[in-house]
Structure 1
């Protein structure tokens, strides 16, 4: 991908590195991202903690091809750390593993991934136990701000009595340790037991979406195009959906990845029915739906008019509700898989708000709301619904932002750079896959731990 960040390129040159270091300027590191035919998890991973979680972590790390160790190597070069706090019941029990983690940080190599493992504090009844579990989230968020050389830190929260070795947590751990999560940092990811692992769900599977049919709205360009390509790379048969005006770009893309195209206004009353009919007649089934399509019509609320407000809410939120209703109806069961996975695109604007974006923030907060509310319905069928909230991503849209605002958006995160469309696509692909069977109803931020809403 051609660079859109000249400052980042300068920092990574020998002269630029010395200059920015001397001036105390941000020094974003080159992130290690997924590369074709290259393992996502390699090298040496330190496993800390006592009890069942640590033992299971060692087994899982070995299963994905890395080398688990109990002590940081003297020569450094750790590619990851799994710090298990799953047995803590009191804040006083955090210190041993937390301080051991701190002592290992200097041994981390570039783009290393730290994952803390704890039980979900929302499911604890005893105050001390809840305090201890919540403390793990707090230390993880702070650690993410301290990571260097492109490293990340995230928390895996075990739900509903799950063991780390269960399919849901195992899949989530593999994602968080991998190069596919390069722009995810400072985030808690809850995971329940999930469904028994299949070959496609196993960590490191090369085609986790093989045999599945996936639809992506707003697929003609930008993040949508990256999502479509990534799902196809992971084995899915893809359906690209976009407005008729984007038909030429859409056809070029689906021909590239071997999918089919559907020209469709997703706000049309019959959009859900037409989408379902396309999947039924062209592919015989539908397994994954990615609601990526979205628009902005920014104005200060004092200057907002009904047309701008209504258009944004119609595309970004109401269309998802209407399409989901069609797909979850009883008469769609002959086409829609029982383990249907839906992924919606939210935004950190919907979490933190943003000046001049009251309509957009309302629409994206709405996506997170409908995701949480729909989760029990999907769970009862054996499927799941999640959302992804991107931060500053390098796209044609952000390239049009004024220079100073654009630079602030890039640098005001722990990773001190903007993400790429493929960073969002990797998160979507994980959440759409069987490996995410234990993740439901949650919104995952892909923002490099942006200070906005942190």
Structure 2
């Protein structure tokens, strides 16, 4: 559904009125496109504190294709800034983060990127822990004020900085247009092993991915994006959607698997359908049955929990036990900001999506250790789909505007984040829940 307000604010009268009335002024977001797949221009490589990663980080940033510089010329408008704050251990070095970004933040190009690299807060040094946790508040606050379609994210590096290459490539590209105010840890306890793909443009070449709920909407977008990245796809949806599922599969050169994911033997049937195994398992299927708890019959509760959570638990357990997800593979589940912040009328849905967060945090370290598989989740915010198009006007507008980018996301935004998780280069990213919500004002 078209965002008429966004289109209006792009006109001269719209800009004038929104400025005079103090209304949100969303900027059109640049997303990945075949003709312009990456940004072009200067990337500022800045440092706060004593970093041990300077040379290695420089090599990683060079791989982005941007012109890496340590300071911008007077007339330049850098497209990105990366601040290496991994060596920040006290208040004096924390001040260097301010000193690094204060002179350049206004000059950053519209739709630009700011990424701060930090270190995990120490359990043994409360001074280091205090200032490294301070970076989280800094990043989230800057994301809410920077405007003009720019994004700000924090990457905590717990191992070699080379393991963060996939994450930095994602966050410094148009693919992360609707991801802002997020904290991602790379490496640490329970991580997998990052493996740089032969071709960063097609990191999933030779890999097989299964996507549930793939007949339409976000699931279809995920399938399209994984195919773009080289994957062979198996598309799963309920038998009632078989006609649509088959059309999508034929268009993408994939295989259709009409199957009720809530069936007790769904995992076994998936394993039989892909006897050579999977490299990527995307749990996207989900439903809503909204009603306030006082008016919610048991059937509405149980149906949502069965599709959104119980089926994920059952099929994941079955596929891991059968060895159907190959070592070096990934599982990506779909949570929601409703599961993080709650939402009136959605106690069932929020419980199911919060359950996904719990699943990821508990299973991720064990899946990596026992099966060589990473487990992560995307948590969408307001995404423009047929479902949100049916939401009443004022609620829909609130959902669109109550984030730092002042607009709704698109299914492809969720798909791009899923593809980043699925890349073999992201093997050191494990147990993470990343919100794809334009930095919604709801939730952490």
Supply the distance in 1 between the matched residues of 2:236 and 2:187 (Cα, whole angstroms). 32
Q: Could you tell me how far 1:376 is from its partner in structure 2?
A: 1.7
| Residue deviations 1:279-337 (CA, integer Å, cap 9, x gap) | 11xxx2211100000011111111111101111110000101000111111xx23x431
Matching residue within 155, 158, 163 for 2:160: 163
Task: Report whether the alignment pairs 1:424 with 2:414.
Answer: yes
**Alpha carbons 1:48, 1:54 under 8 Å: kept:** no
- Kept in 2: contact 1:72–1:107 (CA 8 A): no
Q: Which runs of 5+ in 1 are unaligned?
A: none
1:188 aligned onto 2:186: no
TM-score (normalizing by structure 1): 0.94
List, as ranges, runs of 4+ consecutive aligned residues in structure 1 with deviation greater than 4 Å. Answer: none
The answer to whether 1:358 aligns with 2:344 is: no
Answering whether residue 238 of structure 2 is matched by residue 243 of structure 1, we say yes
Alignment of 1:109-148 (within 5 A): 109-121=109-121, 123-148=122-147
Find the aligned partners of 2:265 and 2:185 in 1 and give their Cα distance. Answer: 35
Q: Does 1:152 align with 2:151?
A: yes
Cα offset, 1:198, TM superposition: 3.1
2:92 and 2:342 map into 1 onto residues whose CA distance is: 36
Structure 2, unaligned runs of 5 or more: none
Match of 2:252 in 1: 257
| Mapping for residues 264-279 of structure 1, pairs under 5 Å | 264-279=259-274
Distance 1:41 1:438, change over 3 A: farther
CA RMSD in angstroms, aligned pairs only = 1.4
Partners in 2 of 1:276 and 1:37 — Cα distance? 38
What is the CA distance between 1:71 and its match in structure 2? Answer: 1.2
- 1:22 pairs, out of 9, 20, 23, with 20
Higher mean C-alpha displacement, 344-353 vs 184-193: 184-193
Measure the CA separation in 1 of the matches of 2:156 and 2:325. Answer: 30
Contact in 1 for aligned 2:195/2:426 (Cα 8 Å) = no
- Mapping of 1:181-220 within 5 angstroms? 181-192=176-187, 195=193, 197-200=195-198, 205-220=200-215
Summarize the Cα distance change of 1:313–1:368 in structure 2 as closer, same or farther, 3 Å threshold. Answer: same
> Could you tell me how far apart the structure 1 residues matched to 2:257 and 2:378 are?
23
Q: Distance in 2 between matches of 1:98 and 1:84?
A: 12
Q: Are 1:326 and 2:318 an aligned pair?
A: yes
* Residue pair 1:340, 1:378 contacting (<8 A) in 2 also: no
Aligned partners of 1:352, 1:183: CA distance in 2, in Å?
A: 18
Greater RCO, CA 8 A, separation 6+? 2
Range moving further from structure 2, 351-360 or 63-72: 63-72
Q: 1:239·1:259 contact (CA, 8 Å) conserved in 2?
A: yes
Structure 2 counterparts to residues 401-416 of structure 1, below 5 A: 401-416=391-406
Residues 112-131 of structure 1: CA distance to partner in whole angstroms, max 9, x if unpaired? 0100000012x442110100
**How many positions carry a matched residue from both structures?**
438
TM-score in terms of structure 2 length: 0.96
Matched, 1:315 2:307: yes
**1:345 aligned to which of 320, 334, 348:** 334
Partner of residue 32, structure 2: 34
